[in-house]
Structure 1
Amino acid sequence: MSSVRPSTFPKIQAALDAGADPLGRARELLPLHRRWTQDSQILESVRPVIARSWERAHELKNQPRALTAQDLRARQQENRELAALMPMVEERLLSVAGQAENQLVVTDGEGYVLSVLGPMAVRRQSDGIGFIAGARWLESDVGTNGIGTAMAERSAVQVFGPEHGREEQHTWVCTSAPIISPVTGKLVATVTLAGSFRTAHPHTLALVAGTAREAESELAWQHQLGLNQLRNAVSQPEGDYLLVDEHQMVAASRGFSASARISVVGGLRAGRIWVNGLGAMAAEQVPGGWLLRRSAEQTLLELIERPLPHAVLWIGAERTEVPLSAAHWRILQLLADNGPGLDAQGLAQAWSQPVSAVTVRAEVSRLRAKLGGLIAARPYRLVVPVVVSG
């Protein structure tokens, strides 16, 4: 099984070195924070990860958004991936949190706090700044903070004292790491150790980051187990086929040279679909996944300009509609008018206004990802018949 995440992880930097004086470091940071808030200047001495966050989070006035008690319970109960990870996360971090006078905070993939565990004294202090179960802690809500910045950076971060966007958080250190699904690439959760800035230590960053990576490995293992169960639960049909799960990951196949994950225009559904690199397929839902076989139905791409530009992929009598930006509409229109195809330079020259080949190449790349192999390369050309409607 291939992973969405790269095999190498971004370099992470602790907020201060082991043995450094937290109070002294906080005093050094205060003038930097004031220069940013008062003059909108971010000095070079600000750590890069914090500088990027300050750029994103400047002048935000929102208050933390909170869920109702009912919505909070629903999120806690419905997040099955996170629920399966919680015993391991608590085992790795909760006792350490208590010993360090920190609290363990876990959010879902949207930044809503689902769990706050740890010493009651720390929790009372966090209540005062809205750091409570049900609150949302994105950068867009509360400025630079461990949770929101880890989510934005998709990497473990440690936010210390006056590095936080809001002054009421300046007495805190928050060490956070995102848990990212190795299957979908989506944020599943964040884990955070938070407490007084005087408890800051670089080892905390390594511990939290390591726990998040272990959680991602657990998710990968659970997914592989699910693929094995799907493979064993579905009888192999006659002829060529693909058996995939709900994430379009391949559990079994015969007669197809497919990667670990397929790409389907418009997503999986019962009926006729188009699979990138494989063409038209007939999809049948089976327990836990989808069974795909070749389809002999005629395929046609219809381009419709009004009222809003979109493409309709017809496979027999079944249709899949794909919204298009103005640039993507223009690319398809030009390719429809030039059957043998055009390269990026040719598309740029045929454009109705000045545009660079580099810009065109980037737009074609995005369009090809959306249309799942309906556009071949070298030169760019449509691989199915096309009609243009008004």
Structure 2
Amino acid sequence: MRPQRLEAALAAFEDPAAKARSLVPLHRAWASTAAIPAPVRPVVARSWQRQSLKNPAIRPLGTGDIVDRRERAAVLSGLVPMLEERLLQLAADAGNELVISDDEGYVLWVAGPSPIRRRSEDIGFVAGARWRETDVGTNGLGAAMAERTPVQIFGPEHAREEQHTWVCTSAPIIEERTGQVLGAITLSGSYRTAHPHTLALVSATAREAACLLAARHDRELHLLAGSVPAPPGRHVLVDAQGWVAHSAGFGVGNRLRLPGNLCAGGTWLPELGAVLAEEVPGGWLLHGGNRETDARLELELAPVPVAVLVQDGQRTEIRLSERHGQILALLVANPEGLDAHGLMEQLPGTTTTVTVRAELSRLRARLGGLIESRPYRLGLPASFRA
């Protein structure tokens, strides 16, 4: 994971009241002209640019909808005990509350001292409320989700004036294996409690949550690999999202792109080519194909180039760029194959064999090893579609 550059809203010994007074003219200038003054911090300037001061009224969800959203956010729900253990007591000691929101910015858990929670109710920062930037303007939770990085929003950096006495320090929880933002954690309170250490604490907790999820997924893959006996021959065992638990005979990375309509039987995958898919508990076992497959390739050039792989009665369409369509057409027309020089001579606008080889490399990645080399030729029957 790349180290994050954290930018606190104010320095450790900076006077919060003086800082807030210095920000009021900047906010007023932006509110009246929509022009962002130069002294505004870059993260705040980007947030001000993303949204409008005219946000709709906050209408929190009902209790039943909150329960439904907590059940929907099962992965995030499993992290709540750890988040509370790491942050809740420290938040209370600092006069802050702990807020946990889901991937759409809905506040699902709020905990902390009663006085601060009553104050947050006055501005609508309550369970069931959605606090994205488009809902309530610039705020810590919304900015952290939009920026995908920890953010501290102080006093008049908030878009709405009723939030100008607050400081909100937020960090998104990002699942590393998918890059998905699962939610955000926020410590909020009076701007007089602002401190740069809060940003570091929230950031470290979000990273710990991401590491717990990664470790949990590794354990799940290990269990999957142990529960499915390895078959003879080339194969890849993946979970339902395509993450590789075990492989033999294939040079694969950590994850395969599985089509949404994958079903048992013969199929074709870009990274593997022709395979036999077998559904197993928790994922898929993909067996390597062989030369005796009945697969064939059909090339359609108009209105846009499309390669159609037909295997076991199933059709897989792969959209191509114009250049890749031209290359594939030459290979279909020359089943005996062409070297890079032969392709260069017949491709319009191509002047070097280096360019040809680069395009072939990209095309072979798209077609999952269907193109052989020395010379370049298709490894299965191919024809043009009318």
TM > 0.5 fold call: yes
Residues 121, 270 of structure 1: alpha-carbon distance in 2 compared, 3 angstrom cutoff: farther
The SS at the match of 1:58 is coil
How many matched pairs? Answer: 362
The SS at the match of 1:105 is strand
Distance (whole Å) between structure 2 residues aligned to residue 321 and residue 178 of structure 1: 37
Equivalent residue number for residue 14 of structure 1? 8
Q: Does 1:201 align with 2:195?
A: yes
Distance (whole Å) between structure 2 residues aligned to residue 381 and residue 198 of structure 1: 70
Distance (whole Å) between structure 2 residues aligned to residue 181 and residue 169 of structure 1: 30
Give ranges in structure 2 of 5+ residues lacking alignment. 332-337, 351-357
Residues 318, 196 of structure 1: alpha-carbon distance in 2 compared, 3 angstrom cutoff: same
The partner residue of 2:297 within 297, 300, 309 is: 300
Distance (whole Å) between structure 1 residues aligned to residue 166 and residue 189 of structure 2: 6
Distance (whole Å) between structure 1 residues aligned to residue 157 and residue 237 of structure 2: 49
Q: Does 1:235 align with 2:229?
A: yes
* Cα deviations by residue, 1:166-222 (Å, 9 ceiling, x for unpaired): 112111111000111111111112111011111110000000000000001100110
Give the CA deviation at 1:265.
Answer: 4.7
Give the CA deviation at 1:243.
Answer: 0.7
Residues 285, 168 of structure 1: alpha-carbon distance in 2 compared, 3 angstrom cutoff: same
Letter in 1 for 2:108: L
Equivalent residue number for residue 311 of structure 2? 315
Q: Does 1:121 align with 2:115?
A: yes
The SS at the match of 1:70 is helix
For the Cα contact (< 8 Å) 1:184–1:247, is it kept in 2?
A: no
Distance (whole Å) between structure 1 residues aligned to residue 159 and residue 307 of structure 2: 44
For the Cα contact (< 8 Å) 1:14–1:205, is it kept in 2?
A: yes
The SS at the match of 1:207 is helix
Alignment of 1:205-220 (within 5 A): 205-220=199-214
* Cα deviations by residue, 1:283-334 (Å, 9 ceiling, x for unpaired): 111111111112344143555867x997755333113457x6xxx6655555
Give the CA deviation at 1:238.
Answer: 2.3
Equivalent residue number for residue 35 of structure 2? 41
Distance (whole Å) between structure 1 residues aligned to residue 121 and residue 276 of structure 2: 54
Distance (whole Å) between structure 2 residues aligned to residue 211 and residue 311 of structure 1: 47
For the Cα contact (< 8 Å) 1:299–1:316, is it kept in 2?
A: no
Distance (whole Å) between structure 2 residues aligned to residue 71 and residue 148 of structure 1: 21
Equivalent residue number for residue 47 of structure 2? 53
Letter in 1 for 2:32: Q
Distance (whole Å) between structure 2 residues aligned to residue 186 and residue 274 of structure 1: 27
Q: Does 1:258 align with 2:258?
A: no
Letter in 2 for 1:254: A
Letter in 2 for 1:25: K
Distance (whole Å) between structure 2 residues aligned to residue 375 and residue 164 of structure 1: 55
Distance (whole Å) between structure 1 residues aligned to residue 114 and residue 261 of structure 2: 47
The partner residue of 1:108 within 99, 102, 109 is: 102
Distance (whole Å) between structure 1 residues aligned to residue 97 and residue 180 of structure 2: 25
Give the CA deviation at 1:126.
Answer: 1.4
Residues 232, 52 of structure 1: alpha-carbon distance in 2 compared, 3 angstrom cutoff: same
Distance (whole Å) between structure 2 residues aligned to residue 171 and residue 25 of structure 1: 12
Residues 41, 309 of structure 1: alpha-carbon distance in 2 compared, 3 angstrom cutoff: farther
- Cα RMSD of the aligned pairs, angstroms, is 3.4
Give the CA deviation at 1:65.
Answer: 5.7
For the Cα contact (< 8 Å) 1:230–1:288, is it kept in 2?
A: yes
Larger Rg: 2
Residues 284, 20 of structure 1: alpha-carbon distance in 2 compared, 3 angstrom cutoff: same
Alignment of 1:93-104 (within 5 A): 93-104=87-98
Letter in 2 for 1:117: A
For the Cα contact (< 8 Å) 1:264–1:274, is it kept in 2?
A: no
Distance (whole Å) between structure 1 residues aligned to residue 217 and residue 129 of structure 2: 30
Alignment of 1:69-108 (within 5 A): 69-108=63-102
Equivalent residue number for residue 192 of structure 1? 186
Distance (whole Å) between structure 2 residues aligned to residue 65 and residue 309 of structure 1: 49
Distance (whole Å) between structure 2 residues aligned to residue 195 and residue 63 of structure 1: 22
Distance (whole Å) between structure 1 residues aligned to residue 369 and residue 21 of structure 2: 58
Equivalent residue number for residue 140 of structure 2? 146
Equivalent residue number for residue 354 of structure 2? none
Residues 97, 268 of structure 1: alpha-carbon distance in 2 compared, 3 angstrom cutoff: farther
Distance (whole Å) between structure 1 residues aligned to residue 215 and residue 242 of structure 2: 17
For the Cα contact (< 8 Å) 2:91–2:112, is it kept in 1?
A: yes
Distance (whole Å) between structure 2 residues aligned to residue 313 and residue 64 of structure 1: 51
Distance (whole Å) between structure 2 residues aligned to residue 166 and residue 386 of structure 1: 63
Residues 137, 373 of structure 1: alpha-carbon distance in 2 compared, 3 angstrom cutoff: farther
Equivalent residue number for residue 26 of structure 1? 20
Give the CA deviation at 1:140.
Answer: 1.7
Equivalent residue number for residue 137 of structure 1? 131
Equivalent residue number for residue 355 of structure 2? none
Distance (whole Å) between structure 1 residues aligned to residue 135 and residue 323 of structure 2: 38
Residues 282, 25 of structure 1: alpha-carbon distance in 2 compared, 3 angstrom cutoff: same
Residues 93, 383 of structure 1: alpha-carbon distance in 2 compared, 3 angstrom cutoff: farther
Give ranges in structure 1 of 5+ residues lacking alignment. 1-6, 351-360
Equivalent residue number for residue 283 of structure 2? 289
Letter in 1 for 2:109: S
Distance (whole Å) between structure 2 residues aligned to residue 284 and residue 261 of structure 1: 17
Distance (whole Å) between structure 2 residues aligned to residue 383 and residue 142 of structure 1: 57
For the Cα contact (< 8 Å) 2:268–2:274, is it kept in 1?
A: yes
